[in-house]
Structure 1
Amino acid sequence: MRIIVGITGASGSLYGYTLIRTLHQLGIETHVIATEMGVKVMQYECGVKMKDVKQFAHVHNNQNLFASIASGSFKTDGMVIAPCSMNTLGAIANGVGDTLLSRAASVVMKEQRKFIVVPREAPFHLIHLQNMTKLAEANVSIMPASPGFYHRPQEIWELINFMVARILDGLDIDHELIERWGEKSNESRINKRTN
């Protein structure tokens, strides 16, 4: 299996970095593209540099339109942009492919492969919503960074893992990151809370 992960300058780069590490742990070949602001925000929010990412994935320069992932003949199983800035989302929704990230997204869409964007913005204005609608109509999965709370998270990692688990589900990748709703341990925790 081969997955592309994009990281943009939106807040929430921990989602993308955790996804990359999880894919590596699952033995999945991963190709990463980060925008210039994505690199800066990841270092600011997580203390993670691109050299740290290189131990888990193939890292591509966002300006290198000759990279393998810029071509539909390079087979991948899907792509995720986490977090996805509204700037990048708007470029992709409107067919702009002037960077490797937006070109790879266009390739994944034209090849009809799984594609998930994880917007991390609030509130959304009309143009944001229109751009997300365009992508949804093009069969792109819009997965806002909105973790659930029914599993009673105690630490930030539980919230991050919840979203990464949902992304993996969207890519049809088996994992054991979270306990699913209806599993025995969840039921017993819920029963304890309601008694």
Structure 2
Amino acid sequence: MQQLDNKRLVVGITGASGSIYGIRLIETLLSLDYTVHLVISNAGWRVLKEEMDWDVTDREGMLEEKFGGLGGSWIYHPVSDIGASIASGSFLADGMIIMPCSMGTLSSIAQGSSDNLMSRAADVMMKEARPLILVPRETPLHAIHLENMLKLSRLGVRMIPAMPAFYHKPQTMEELIMFLVGKVLDSLRIQHQLFARWGEPDKRG
């Protein structure tokens, strides 16, 4: 039987605003010695350019610049590579997170269209009964958005909307971002100290 190389997760970044969420998630997983299989949609690359000033002309070079040396390991899969390892249920992974998740990608997953590697990898997680977490980032929401979320939720997909809390008294935008990263890790039962939990001492460095 195929053995997992340490701990293995798939992370998707779409064209929804908030690509910083996905980047911080990847950095955190790498620091925890995970192997991250990364998929970024074409719109996701556009948002990385617009929101984070990434030079996306050399995509893999940019990923190496940002993630090299953080621990763990990462493998980048172009969104058009429908034959990538993560497109098959025989490839073992501990789960998948799409952060942020656009309404277009969410709709594609809800309809089972699997028209690119992002939605196909998500479909694999569902059919293999592995954890799939979506972090929708859109406002306001109309009925189709909500119906697609409800449909997926009934199938066991976890919805963690990009809604940071304030009870831990964040002082910076980074603390708001890391709160949401921490909520995703909580859903996967991955231990962390990214935010102060209600009723517990603040253990952040």
TM-score normalized by the length of structure 2: 0.87
Distance 2:16 2:44 in 1: 7
- Cross-structure match for 2:119: 102
Q: Aligned letter for 1:2?
A: R
Alignment of 1:55-74 (within 5 A): 55=67, 57-74=74-91
Q: CA deviation at 1:112?
A: 0.6
Distance 1:53 1:165 in 2: 22
The one of 100, 110, 135 equivalent to 1:83 is: 100
Distance 1:130 1:117 in 2: 15
Consecutive unaligned residues of structure 1, counting only runs of 5 or more, are: 187-195
Question: Structure 1 residues 178 and 52, CA, compared in 2 at 3 Å: closer, same or farther?
Answer: farther
Is this contact kept in 2: 1:17–1:53, CA < 8 A?
no
- Cross-structure match for 1:118: 135
Is this contact kept in 1: 2:87–2:124, CA < 8 A?
yes
Q: CA deviation at 1:52?
A: 3.1
Distance 1:145 1:2 in 2: 23
The one of 31, 50, 71 equivalent to 1:44 is: 50
Matched, 1:16 2:1: no
Instruction: Please state whether the residue corresponding to 2:48 is helix, strand or coil.
Output: helix
- Greater Cα offset, 74-83 or 48-57: 48-57
Distance 1:112 1:119 in 2: 21
Is this contact kept in 1: 2:135–2:159, CA < 8 A?
yes
Q: CA deviation at 1:185?
A: 4.1
Consecutive unaligned residues of structure 2, counting only runs of 5 or more, are: 1-6, 69-73
Distance 1:26 1:37 in 2: 28
- Cross-structure match for 2:154: 137
- Aligned-pair identity (%): 49
Distance 1:107 1:14 in 2: 25
What is the number of residues matched between the two proteins?
186
- Cross-structure match for 1:34: 40
Name the one with the larger helix percent: 1
- Cross-structure match for 1:191: none
Q: Aligned letter for 1:122?
A: T
Instruction: Please state whether the residue corresponding to 2:89 is helix, strand or coil.
Output: coil
TM-score normalized by the length of structure 1: 0.92
Q: CA deviation at 1:155?
A: 0.8
Instruction: Please state whether the residue corresponding to 1:72 is helix, strand or coil.
Output: coil
Distance 1:128 1:34 in 2: 21
